Amino acid sequence: MQMGEGVEWGLHCCVTLAWLGDEGPVSIRKLAAWFDLPQEYLKKRLQALAKAGILTSTPGVRGGFALARPPEQITLMDVVVALEGADEAFRCAEIRQRGAGAVGADGEFGRPCGIAAAMRRAELAWRRELAAQTVADLMAHAPAGAERTRRNYARMGD
């Protein structure tokens, strides 16, 4: 399974916006410069997060993005689903029911195969882990980042 780079971008932006919460909306220009990312691609990711209710988007000269809810209420899974969709990573096509291998199975296919069941258990564990971690947890693992972020943001100016 491979997630797009937008998930990393989205999560880092959420943490940064949380640290800059008192600054009001942060412009897409500043966020793109902050991480040296292409502004239009980043904007699409952040718009998806706004559509999902993770960020707010304020239009205008003083506009930008901010967290829509407290960091404790935004899970990593929220961000992943907003940017990658909710589809399961593994999709069983039941190929065991096709071709010569299916001849004589007589009811053997009434339950999901062991492969589908194992993949589903693994995905559920992955989803549970991401749902248990919040933006606030990420912030807690990098406490020095908060002060550095505020200091560097103040140096950026308008």
- The CATH number for 32's domain is 1.10.10.10
**Is the residue at 108 inside a domain?**
no
**Is the residue at 16 inside a domain?**
yes
**Is the residue at 50 inside a domain?**
yes
Of 35, 14, 7, 5, nearest in space to 153 by CA: 35
In whole angstroms, how far apart are CA 156 and each of 100, 112, 150?
A: 66, 56, 10
pLDDT tens digits for 38-97?
A: 999 999 999 999 999 999 999 988 899 999 999 999 999 999 999 999 988 888 887 777
Domain of 59, in residue numbers: 5-87+135-156
Domain count, the chain: 1
For residue 103, name the pLDDT band (cuts at 50, 70, 90): low
Q: At residue 105, does pLDDT exceed 70?
A: no
Per the model's pLDDT, the better-predicted residue between 12 and 150 turns out to be 12
Q: Which of 78-92, 101-115, 119-133 has the lowest mean pLDDT?
A: 101-115
Query: In percent, how much of the chain has pLDDT > 70?
Result: 93
Tell me the backbone φ, ψ of residue 29, rounded to 5 degrees.
Answer: -60, -45
* Contact criterion met (CB below 8 Å) for 39 and 30: no
